[in-house]
Amino acid sequence: MMMNIVSFLCPTELSLLISKTLLPVYRSNVVWRPLVVHKFGTIKSTNYFKEYAWQLKLKKHQLYYQRHFTMGCVGRSIPPTKEDWLPAIF
């Protein structure tokens, strides 16, 4: 029942609910899949919490590269690598 309640909250309200007992529910696919699909489109993953963090890191890297390319100071850039994650509990 708790997972159904948490799945309807927005990310800013989710940060208020964090405790040791709710951490697996907070990181579950039920909560993070709709957020990932809404923000980044349909992505196939087994752990949407980690996928959300990875997509944010990738977007940040792309923004920095684009900004440096526009200013003419790209230099040597190492792209981020995606790690293998364990599947989410829920």
In the chain, the number of structural domains is 1
Give residue 43's domain range.
2-71
Where do the H-state alpha helices sit in 1-90?
2-7, 11-14, 23-26, 29-40, 48-71
Distance CA 17, CA 13 (A): 7
The answer to whether residue 44 sits within a structural domain is: yes
- The tokens describing 42, both together, are 């349909």
Q: What does DSSP assign to residue 15? A: G
The per-residue pLDDT string of the chain (90 residues; one tens digit each, 9 = 90 and over) reads: 455 555 556 555 555 556 667 777 778 888 889 889 999 999 999 999 999 999 999 999 999 888 888 888 777 778 888 888 888 877
pTM for the whole structure: 0.73
Distance (Å, whole) CA 13 – CA 36: 17
Does residue 86 lie in a domain region? no
Domain presence at residue 82: no
Question: Is 23 inside any structural domain?
Answer: yes
